[in-house]
Chains A and B, each alone.
Chain A
């Protein structure tokens, strides 16, 4: 009955042809007018900011490129000092880049950490592509990480042994961050699930872990790992300093990530749990097929936020004397000839951190869009 009425009503009104929006509402000029020059005050602010941006850009180009010194012969830094700050001394990077990237690793063996960095980057790239998201990827990880261990330590396959104390630079940062997050993430998922467990003992243990670790600064955990932990070990037994720092970072990141994951678990409607249970799925089937895939998608932004934070927090290992990227950079300019060129070194180190963090950020955005496509109508 109602259908008939609707149809006749629709027939009487001819369908209006779609029109384009008015010309004053589209195009570059309209955008400029509404966003940058909508009033006298806005126009003034726009012009002022444009002036500052142009001036600083010119200033930076002059300092960083036009007036810069790119190399100096054999530690003769007088040419750099003569600039008196009007140009950058990139010679410090030319001279010290191997130290910044590889620390005190034996010079003639630098190809080994360099290869490790490439392996890490390749591993990230492969893992980022969804078409490689298969069970075999876990094997690729194990194989790559083993290869990196062999390359760094050596002692077999004709590679000279290099003690861990001599490792340094970018490869240390990547080792700490990769192992740290790769192990902290599964730990975090288990802890987050445990915090919602019906079994009181498991729940209490997980709450205790998260609250204890979160209540302590990472620096004090690193100190504990470096100074206190060996005191509890029997005499003669020693665990590698890097490994101890690595464990501290895993435990710390795990506690933070666990809370992020728990947020996702709590955001899921109760009906999803009930529907899975009503279908007879077991706890792990329910968790693996229904709960985690949805919960983790929901928390991609805070998850990547935490990932990026921890990538940079690995630089805190400097306080227990591990030569990560930042520490190596800092140490590179201790030499009297190169003192005073911190800006150039820190800009370079900062740029390296930025490349990794920005890549993570961009990747998470595309992943989020792709994985949440089902939510679009």
Chain B
């Protein structure tokens, strides 16, 4: 355990320019204020777990980072590029930011291999052979190379989510976003996906992960962010947040989470 923590501490370099910077981000859905002055710095190599009750704005926050949602106020800077209406800036950011969704969102009409090679070939302009070799390498890393010729519908949920992780990694992103990657999975499949994510964390990837898996948070997170009603309520190391909650809202949330487990 202490070994992991040491490794984590050395991976995060707080002095380097941040991989992701959110500065007083505000967003409304119609009249509903869903993000309120959200400010967050994520260093290169840092692993941040975002938790909070449903509807707290945690998914919306990370979806703003690759502009699947647009924010109305504040600044978001990713890998040194500020998000704006400029399409080229957006394309540049999306090339560097991988995303894994709750519902996998694999392309059902393409094979596993085609799912993994499509974006490298067309966005990164990688030769087909090279893209396929890269895809097989990542599929091997998520331990399903033998499924490459199958279609997503033929795989279990856990396998699909591991493919989704491999697909995102094939773009060689600098940052990975996880939006509740295990929430749609059966209990026996959660572990295989979490193991994959732990393995990824050990490579030093910058990660923001929305999840309720407290064990995962304790194991890999440098920082845990607790959100409620559109704002960041508490932030700190897993030990600070889980063992020494300051606010009633976090205490309530933790008691509900723990009761559920």
CA distance A376 to B152 in the complex (A): 10
With A277-B68, A279-B119 as contacts: A297 and B109 at CB distance below 8 Å: yes
With A274-B68, A294-B108, A375-B108 as contacts: A281 and B101 at CB distance below 8 Å: no
B122 at interface by CB-CB < 8 Å: yes
CA distance A110 to B19 in the complex (A): 74
A290 at interface by CB-CB < 8 Å: yes
With A274-B68, A285-B122 as contacts: A279 and B167 at CB distance below 8 Å: yes
Question: Are A272 and B107 within 8 A (Cβ)?
Answer: yes
Binds A, one of B29-37, B90-98, B202-210, B218-226: B90-98
Interface string of B62-83 (1 = CB under 8 A from A): 0000101000000000000000
Residues of A within 8 A of B168 (CB): 278-279
Residues of A within 8 A of B98 (CB): 278
Residues of A within 8 A of B107 (CB): 272, 275-276, 289-290, 294
Interface residues of B in 102-127 (CB under 8 A from A): 103-109, 118-119, 122-123
Question: Are A279 and B171 within 8 A (Cβ)?
Answer: yes
Residues of A within 8 A of B94 (CB): 277-280
Question: Are A279 and B108 within 8 A (Cβ)?
Answer: no
Interface residues of A in 289-336 (CB under 8 A from B): 289-290, 293-294, 297
CA distance A278 to B68 in the complex (A): 7
* Residue of B whose beta carbon sits closest to that of A276: B107
B151 at interface by CB-CB < 8 Å: yes
A-side binding surface: helix, strand, loop or mixed? Answer: helix
Interface string of A337-365 (1 = CB under 8 A from B): 00000000000000000000000000000
A271 at interface by CB-CB < 8 Å: yes
A282 at interface by CB-CB < 8 Å: yes
CA distance A280 to B168 in the complex (A): 10
Question: Are A275 and B123 within 8 A (Cβ)?
Answer: no
B14 at interface by CB-CB < 8 Å: no
* Residue of B whose beta carbon sits closest to that of A294: B109
CA distance A290 to B151 in the complex (A): 14
Min CB distance A5 to B, Å, is: 14
CA distance A269 to B108 in the complex (A): 11
Size bracket of the A interface: 20 to 34
Min CB distance A52 to B, Å, is: 46
Question: Are B119 and A281 within 8 A (Cβ)?
Answer: yes
B153 at interface by CB-CB < 8 Å: yes
Min CB distance B131 to A, Å, is: 13
Question: Are B101 and A271 within 8 A (Cβ)?
Answer: yes
A130 at interface by CB-CB < 8 Å: no
Residues of B within 8 A of A276 (CB): 107
CA distance A272 to B91 in the complex (A): 18
Which of A274, A290, A297 has the most chain B CB atoms inside 10 A of its CB? A274
Min CB distance B124 to A, Å, is: 8
CA distance A150 to B182 in the complex (A): 63
B154 at interface by CB-CB < 8 Å: yes
A374 at interface by CB-CB < 8 Å: yes
Residues of B within 8 A of A282 (CB): 91, 123
Which of A275, A278, A375, A377 has the most chain B CB atoms inside 10 A of its CB? A278
Min CB distance A327 to B, Å, is: 43
* Residue of A whose beta carbon sits closest to that of B94: A280
Min CB distance A283 to B, Å, is: 9
Residues of B within 8 A of A294 (CB): 107-109
Question: Are B68 and A279 within 8 A (Cβ)?
Answer: no
Option from B101, B108, B119, B122 in Cβ contact (under 8 Å) with A274: B101
CA distance A274 to B105 in the complex (A): 8
Residues of A within 8 A of B21 (CB): none
Interface residues of B in 20-75 (CB under 8 A from A): 66, 68
With A279-B119, A289-B122 as contacts: A374 and B153 at CB distance below 8 Å: yes
CA distance A67 to B68 in the complex (A): 74
Interface residues of A in 129-144 (CB under 8 A from B): none
Question: Are B123 and A280 within 8 A (Cβ)?
Answer: yes
Min CB distance B60 to A, Å, is: 13
Question: Are B105 and A272 within 8 A (Cβ)?
Answer: yes
Question: Are B109 and A275 within 8 A (Cβ)?
Answer: no
With A278-B66, A374-B151, A377-B154 as contacts: A271 and B103 at CB distance below 8 Å: yes
Question: Are B109 and A293 within 8 A (Cβ)?
Answer: yes
Question: Are B171 and A280 within 8 A (Cβ)?
Answer: yes
Question: Are B153 and A377 within 8 A (Cβ)?
Answer: yes
Question: Are A275 and B118 within 8 A (Cβ)?
Answer: no
Min CB distance A265 to B, Å, is: 15
Residues of A within 8 A of B153 (CB): 374-377
B99 at interface by CB-CB < 8 Å: yes
CA distance A285 to B123 in the complex (A): 9
Residues of B within 8 A of A285 (CB): 122-123
Residues of B within 8 A of A377 (CB): 153-154
* Residue of A whose beta carbon sits closest to that of B119: A279
Min CB distance B209 to A, Å, is: 15
Min CB distance B13 to A, Å, is: 26
CA distance A280 to B120 in the complex (A): 10
CA distance A285 to B94 in the complex (A): 14
Question: Are B99 and A278 within 8 A (Cβ)?
Answer: yes
Closest 10 CB pairs of A and B: A275-B105, A280-B94, A271-B105, A279-B119, A278-B99, A374-B151, A280-B123, A280-B95, A285-B122, A274-B68
Given A278-B101, A281-B119, A282-B91, 16 additional A-B pairs, CB 8 A: A269-B103, A271-B101, A271-B103, A271-B105, A276-B107, A278-B94, A279-B119, A279-B171, A280-B91, A280-B95, A280-B123, A294-B109, A374-B152, A374-B153, A377-B153, A377-B154
Which of B's residues lie within 8 Å of A, judged by CB? 66, 68, 91, 94-95, 97-99, 101, 103-109, 118-119, 122-123, 151-154, 167-168, 171
Can you report 10 residue pairs joining A to B where beta carbons are below 8 Å apart? A275-B101, A276-B107, A278-B97, A279-B119, A279-B123, A279-B167, A280-B95, A374-B152, A375-B153, A376-B153
